[in-house]
Chain A
Amino acid sequence: MDIELLSPAGDLEKLKIALLYGADAVYVGGYKYNLRAGAKNFSLEELKEATNYAHNLHKKIYVTVNVVLHNEDNKGLKEYLYSLSKIKIDAVITSDIYIISLIKEEKIPLEVHLSTQASVTNDKAASFYKNLGVSRIVLARETSKEDILKIKQQTNIELECFIHGAMCTSISGRCIMSNVLTNRDANKGACAQVCRWTYQDEEKTFTMSSKDLNLVNYMEEMIKIGVNSFKIEGRMRGIYYIATITLCYRRMLDALLNNTLTKEKKDYYLKVLNRCANRQSAPQFFNHLPDYNDQYYFGRNEQSNQDFLGLVLDYDLENKLATIEQRNLFQTGDVVEFFGPNIETKTYTINEIFAKDQIINRANHPRMIVQLKVPFKLNPYDMMHIKIND
């Protein structure tokens, strides 16, 4: 059974990391019409390069065209869709009915996936979109297990579900709080995340922020009820997050499909996932209506995460020297771990740090290049983080 692992990519570097770390497909946004205006995003040239890169690895790339359209967006929209089809991306992700019908009426050779912004939570709505020619539905995060099962039974359409990452407090697309408070249009990609701001009534202050989504414990059930694609949220996230989350899910999914996913393994990956996200997580709507335990009530709770210590640029096999780009402070005596798509996670104690023919005790400059003598083989794009106890 092929279950797709779908990772976010806010730029070309993140796309390469996501695919190297085990994603079967990535979703990205162009400069226009996409709901992450704050991400670096992709020009058409970069989309072409990204598509070629993904296809050379026999992987897929989906492009979000998921804003709520305003009148002025009509200008250039058709041409943009044609450009995407020429690049041969694998699908567009959209929620606006005009975009879907434009693609179908113009016979633009593009597969259409319905965005979660359309908030499909029932089989009848799914049928409506299937009849329009949509080949896959990204279900609303509010969809329950029973909903997914019924939608699959009644439509037999491909289903994509978010499995990990940040959640809106609102039903996706049903919020203009950011528009009201900051003039930044949430449905055009500029959400200011004002549900994480504090509000007050006559008694108390509180936020309305949701804890993150984490469906690790329900992956098997999701596969059984017909989910085809597991989606990770986070196009604004950095490479360490993308790599860590993608790799954890890759390994869990592979183990699950091989019947080798033990409780111990799952617990370990859960620990890694929770530490990486630095926000608490919950299964949210899959098996019950979230309650007060599934929200935050005090401002921003995130702790700054400085786990990511370095990115491996190169490894000299003969001299066993790893060239590392520093990402957070590390020093001699630190016990760290190396991880990557083609190596098992390995523990290592830093004994010496070489920088420009000098031996130093601390790598304390952002992005400084250093070398470490590492006895096992590493590969470019492997990463070094602090040791996460197992």
Chain B
Amino acid sequence: MKKIKYYIIVSESISLKKISNVYYLFPLKDFSVGFTKTYELADIKNDNSYLYINRILHTKDIEKLKQILTKLPNNIIGIFFEDLGVYELIKHMPIEKNLYAMHANCSYMTINTYLKYMTTIVVSPDITLDETNEILKNATKPVILYGLGYLPTMYSRRMLNQNYASHYKIASKKILNIKETITKYPFISVENEWGTMLYDDHLYCLKPNIKSQNITGFLINSFYTNMDAKELIKTFKNQSLEHTGFLDNKTTNKIKEV
């Protein structure tokens, strides 16, 4: 049986120790949003590392990234990205091309089309368990599932925390813990100079019993968890967390159905 891989998005809590089947994804400085710590190539020492680029990029960013990629060291074996402009830059490079389009990879049709270009993709966590299983059944290549972490709920190019602070003339914070006023539903609003990412303030965990030969591995986002890699994997394997996002909760597009 093949070994399942764990792709861990690195944050302050990760000690970067070498662990079997664990691969680290480093949010690249100036090319990622929703993190309080990002990394330059020189900071990345681990073998078999990935860059993580989740920004929508502007033309100037593309030029800058092109320059960075000319100096890509051998310990970087691939890039997880959201913007297809990145694919155009790396399509001829001998590295993994892994698409992590946060809210777009919701069907096996879409995923299989992307898999013609990509090494693999991350299945969107916005869908139900049944939908996920149907994707696994029909995917033409093994895919990655979002295993554990806070789920991104909004990515804005705007400086939402800073704008709010400027409006009220109060000190701006990089991380704001906010609640919707009626439901009291909590979110984490994380800002850097490239925009704002809102996360659902419940630690999400994929449900047990997802087993398929079509899984390359699980993505784990360590941001805001204060857990090291081993603890994250243990939490994921125990699947003791109750927040399972949309796995049992199919969304609707007909208002009358709500």
**Which residue of A67, A124, A147, A176 is within 8 Å of B89 (Cβ)?**
A124
Asked if B258 is an interface residue, CB under 8 A from chain A, the answer is: yes
Asked if A56 is an interface residue, CB under 8 A from chain B, the answer is: no
**Which residue of B88, B110, B178 is within 8 Å of A199 (Cβ)?**
B178
Given contacts A124-B62, A125-B83, A125-B84, contact A188 B163 (CB under 8 A): no
State the Cβ distance, B70 to closest chain A Cβ, in Å.
15
User: Which B residue sits closest to A96, measured CB to CB?
Assistant: B110
Asked if A323 is an interface residue, CB under 8 A from chain B, the answer is: no
Task: Enumerate B51-66 residues with CB–CB distance to A below 8 Å.
Answer: 56-62
Task: Enumerate B84-108 residues with CB–CB distance to A below 8 Å.
Answer: 84-89, 102-104, 106-108
Given contacts A150-B59, A204-B170, A291-B166, contact A71 B179 (CB under 8 A): no
Let me know if B59 and A176 touch, CB within 8 A: no
| Chain A residues positioned under 8 Å from B168 (CB to CB) | 203-204, 206, 297
**Complex-state Cα separation, A151 to B85, whole angstroms:** 11
**Complex-state Cα separation, A150 to B62, whole angstroms:** 11
Let me know if A128 and B104 touch, CB within 8 A: no
User: Which A residue sits closest to B124, measured CB to CB?
Assistant: A68
Let me know if A98 and B107 touch, CB within 8 A: yes
Task: Enumerate B162-210 residues with CB–CB distance to A below 8 Å.
Answer: 162-164, 166-168, 170, 176-183, 185, 187, 198, 200
**Complex-state Cα separation, A173 to B102, whole angstroms:** 9
Asked if B131 is an interface residue, CB under 8 A from chain A, the answer is: yes
Let me know if B153 and A70 touch, CB within 8 A: no
Asked if A101 is an interface residue, CB under 8 A from chain B, the answer is: yes
State the Cβ distance, A202 to closest chain B Cβ, in Å.
8
Given contacts A176-B103, A204-B170, A291-B166, contact A122 B57 (CB under 8 A): yes
Let me know if B107 and A122 touch, CB within 8 A: no
User: Which A residue sits closest to B200, measured CB to CB?
Assistant: A180
Asked if B68 is an interface residue, CB under 8 A from chain A, the answer is: no
Asked if B215 is an interface residue, CB under 8 A from chain A, the answer is: no
Let me know if A292 and B251 touch, CB within 8 A: no
Asked if B159 is an interface residue, CB under 8 A from chain A, the answer is: yes
Given contacts A121-B56, A147-B58, contact A174 B154 (CB under 8 A): yes
Given contacts A170-B155, A199-B187, contact A184 B252 (CB under 8 A): yes
**Complex-state Cα separation, A286 to B103, whole angstroms:** 25
**Complex-state Cα separation, A258 to B17, whole angstroms:** 67
Let me know if B179 and A199 touch, CB within 8 A: yes
State the Cβ distance, B67 to closest chain A Cβ, in Å.
14
Let me know if B103 and A177 touch, CB within 8 A: no
Asked if A74 is an interface residue, CB under 8 A from chain B, the answer is: yes
The SS class assigned to the B binding surface is mixed
Given contacts A124-B62, A171-B56, contact A291 B163 (CB under 8 A): yes
Asked if B14 is an interface residue, CB under 8 A from chain A, the answer is: no
Asked if B230 is an interface residue, CB under 8 A from chain A, the answer is: no
Task: Enumerate A116-144 residues with CB–CB distance to B below 8 Å.
Answer: 119, 121-129, 140, 142-144
**Complex-state Cα separation, A182 to B185, whole angstroms:** 11
Let me know if B251 and A295 touch, CB within 8 A: no
Asked if A1 is an interface residue, CB under 8 A from chain B, the answer is: no
**Which residue of A122, A175, A176, A182 is within 8 Å of B58 (Cβ)?**
A122
Asked if A254 is an interface residue, CB under 8 A from chain B, the answer is: no
**Complex-state Cα separation, A176 to B112, whole angstroms:** 23
State the Cβ distance, A86 to closest chain B Cβ, in Å.
22
| Chain A residues positioned under 8 Å from B158 (CB to CB) | 169, 210, 289-290, 294-295
**Which residue of B89, B179, B254 is within 8 Å of A37 (Cβ)?**
B254
Let me know if A68 and B160 touch, CB within 8 A: no
**Which residue of B62, B86, B160 is within 8 Å of A123 (Cβ)?**
B62
**Which residue of B112, B153, B159, B164 is within 8 Å of A206 (Cβ)?**
B164
State the Cβ distance, A138 to closest chain B Cβ, in Å.
15
Let me know if B154 and A183 touch, CB within 8 A: no
**Which residue of A73, A127, A140, A294 is within 8 Å of B56 (Cβ)?**
A140
Task: Enumerate A1-20 residues with CB–CB distance to B below 8 Å.
Answer: none
**Which residue of A122, A146, A176 is within 8 Å of B85 (Cβ)?**
A122
Given contacts A68-B104, A190-B255, contact A170 B154 (CB under 8 A): yes
Given contacts A37-B253, A67-B253, A189-B253, contact A98 B157 (CB under 8 A): no
| Chain A residues positioned under 8 Å from B164 (CB to CB) | 204, 206, 208, 292, 297
Q: Mark A150-180, 1 if CB is under 8 A from B, else 0.
A: 1100000000000000000111011111011
Asked if A332 is an interface residue, CB under 8 A from chain B, the answer is: no
Q: Which 5 A-B pairs have the closest CB atoms?
A: A124-B85, A188-B253, A185-B251, A292-B163, A125-B85
15 A-B contacts (beta carbon < 8 Å): A68-B103, A74-B109, A122-B59, A123-B62, A169-B160, A173-B104, A181-B185, A182-B258, A184-B255, A197-B180, A201-B179, A203-B170, A289-B158, A291-B159, A292-B166
